[in-house]
Structure 1
């Protein structure tokens, strides 16, 4: 096989590939064995038509597409490895020659990983940030624990307050006409959660059980349902029930219920200790992230749009998975917030570009500094993964190999060591 690479634009070029005649012959043989099983020719049982008869009747060209499907993936991958390019998207293939008895020649227009011009990445300094733990932080954490232990109780004689859970019926109208998706009965809503259209939940405050009210709101201009976007609406709301959290007293008995400590003072001391430990980790992560950002800002790289698109899609899938843990999906999220997939993608785009840029710059630094990981370091990482998953080390290794993820483990370790290098060479390390 022959392969050559010619750069035509900054991040794009043409990969020209020529296989040998034998490769084409073998692919045509495989294609025939596949196609002949489906062909009906009078006088022959299905799958038993001779190759000569098949080509006389249908022409050898009938095998070309299947032969291409067999040859192209392997030939393209081999050419990529031979030329050393790093594609970041599917290629556009143009077949220049495909004939029986001749070689296959094709050209692939390929978008490749961009080159990075590194700027200053050693001796950087991250601005100071306060990571101290205050008494207010301890009290806030204690308050969170208190709320977690609270019991929801019905409020028989009272009014809706922010933070209450309410059971409501509602139906929405625009210009006096009901609209699709604007009606629900016995709906459970936390007032102040921001789940509904801006202004809706605020107008529930002060209502009493059994009360009915018209809630006037305006759909956001970027609402996912175009027919509703920017339009004023009236929701007829009936409040059935108010539920409010009854909080336990913060005393020694509370401490004994939620922890292994006998007194509230001991619990507070433990909370402060854990918050300080977390603050140290947060500070370390802050410095590491900021150094990567500074190094990325100092460098020059022209990122292909497709790389950002791929990262946006990845972020969307991660977000969808997080929603699933809450019993939601993207469709329900869109109904609650007015943000559809396209709006979410646009929201993710800036962070996606930032992440892609950072990763490219870190790869560039790793190459410039010859950052490598040893087999021992990879083994240690797999061991830690196995401990976290509570699984056998060899089982985890086999799983990673089966998923083709060992390369990813190595890349992550190189990234970590590269950031370690930035930290050790920074002014913050002094």
Structure 2
């Protein structure tokens, strides 16, 4: 491969173009074929027996190209890229974004690497910012809520002789029968179930209500039409139930015994004081973080200059990915979430992009401050950090260095140190 050109299509952005010849693409494609041929199953051939021409006739002539392109890029581009960056005196502040421009069998391929470079910002102010740290008061209601959660955690299950009602905890064996035969996933022993929790299919928990411990009975229910197991969806079944016991959750009394057991203090007043302090500390820590963020927001506002668009776009995409991951953990779609907070997709993404631009501006300002104030880690600092990582992972320093982006580590640590410097040289008034 070779470097074709180095351009700066906009301020603080470098775009490099690389190319590989048809011969290089062919040799790399054949290497991919030799490496992966055993994985292909082509009609009329046993697995791994089809040759390259037969595989490409079935899957397309491009079958091996993209792995071949990745192989060539991984092998040749890093050295070409680093040499060009050094020659032009460019300083990257993010990983390059690669794009495949064209690929043809008789021409090879062309690819680009677009990199955000460190912008030159005019810092009208770097220290002396002022903000308030407002810690909300801890209320008795909040303390009561914590106490109730601690009581719930300490609750004991006590057998109940009466009929089962909603809220009771039951222990059951059950066997599900479809057309008189057991089905997969329909049988369990000594299962714990809180009636009314909605864990089971409609009708199951309701069928237990009114029964007493020791009884055996049948429950007739129908699986929902959209049940995830297609063979059961919409089907009527019978569950044979053995109800071992019916229990109630007995909460401990809020007295000195509970205080000693739950918090290792002598009285409930001491327990409440302990909770109050814990809530205060948590609220204060959150308020202090908000105040520090406010200082860095002021720094961003005092940093004038153009940011590389690719850097802002990268920060925006990362933030959107983080939002999507959090929503997936909550089993929410973005559209569902937006309907809950009464926002349109356009207004939400615009707000995320604005935040990404502000955070990027603050980071670039901090990087500039780190360089100006001598806060960028030295080689000795980096080696110490990576040596600790090597010791934790049972590897050598050389192995860890080879697998690490040392410049990114240096840059991020410099930004962290600069943030501490700016905050230490500003004023946070406690409220």
TM-score normalized with structure 1 length: 0.54
Question: Could you tell me whether the CA contact under 8 Å between 2:303 and 2:361 is conserved in 1?
Answer: no
Secondary structure at the counterpart of residue 372 of structure 1: coil
Say yes or no: does 1:393 pair with 2:392.
yes
Gapped regions of structure 2 (runs ≥ 5):
43-48, 54-61, 156-164, 168-194, 206-248
Q: CA deviation at 1:256?
A: 3.0
Gapped regions of structure 1 (runs ≥ 5):
40-44, 50-60, 156-165, 170-183, 189-244, 387-391
2-side partners of 1:64 and 1:320: how far apart?
A: 32
Out of 363, 366, 373, the position equivalent to 1:362 is 366
Cα distance change of structure 1 residues 64 and 428 upon mapping to structure 2, 3 Å threshold: closer
Equivalent residue number for residue 238 of structure 1: none
TM-score normalized with structure 2 length: 0.54
2-side partners of 1:403 and 1:318: how far apart?
A: 25
Say yes or no: does 1:129 pair with 2:127.
no
Q: CA deviation at 1:417?
A: 0.9
Say yes or no: does 1:263 pair with 2:262.
no
2-side partners of 1:405 and 1:2: how far apart?
A: 22
Cα distance change of structure 1 residues 280 and 402 upon mapping to structure 2, 3 Å threshold: farther
Equivalent residue number for residue 415 of structure 1: 415
Return the structure number with greater strand share.
2
Say yes or no: does 1:31 pair with 2:34.
no
- How big is each residue's C-alpha offset from its partner over 1:227-280, in whole Å with a ceiling of 9 and x where there is no partner? xxxxxxxxxxxxxxxxxx998765434423431112122223323443454455
1-side partners of 2:328 and 2:63: how far apart?
A: 47
Say yes or no: does 1:330 pair with 2:333.
yes
Cα distance change of structure 1 residues 124 and 310 upon mapping to structure 2, 3 Å threshold: same
Question: Could you tell me whether the CA contact under 8 Å between 1:168 and 1:185 is conserved in 2?
Answer: no
Q: How many residues align?
A: 320
2-side partners of 1:168 and 1:272: how far apart?
A: 32
Alignment RMSD (CA, Å): 5.4
Equivalent residue number for residue 7 of structure 1: 8
2-side partners of 1:4 and 1:358: how far apart?
A: 32
Secondary structure at the counterpart of residue 302 of structure 1: coil
Q: CA deviation at 1:295?
A: 1.2
Cα distance change of structure 1 residues 395 and 410 upon mapping to structure 2, 3 Å threshold: farther
Equivalent residue number for residue 144 of structure 1: 145
Superposed counterparts of 1:20-419, under 5 Å: 28-34=26-32, 68=69, 70-84=71-85, 85=90, 86=92, 90-94=97-101, 108=112, 110=114, 112-113=116-117, 115-131=119-135, 134=137, 137=138, 139-149=140-150, 250-278=254-282, 281-282=285-286, 284-323=288-327, 325-326=329-330, 328-330=331-333, 333-334=336-337, 337=340, 342=345, 345-346=349-350, 348-374=352-378, 393-395=392-394, 404=404, 410-419=410-419
Cα distance change of structure 1 residues 139 and 376 upon mapping to structure 2, 3 Å threshold: farther
Secondary structure at the counterpart of residue 7 of structure 1: strand
Q: CA deviation at 1:47?
A: 5.8
Q: CA deviation at 1:299?
A: 0.8
Question: Could you tell me whether the CA contact under 8 Å between 2:116 and 2:310 is conserved in 1?
Answer: no
2-side partners of 1:385 and 1:64: how far apart?
A: 37
Cα distance change of structure 1 residues 278 and 8 upon mapping to structure 2, 3 Å threshold: same
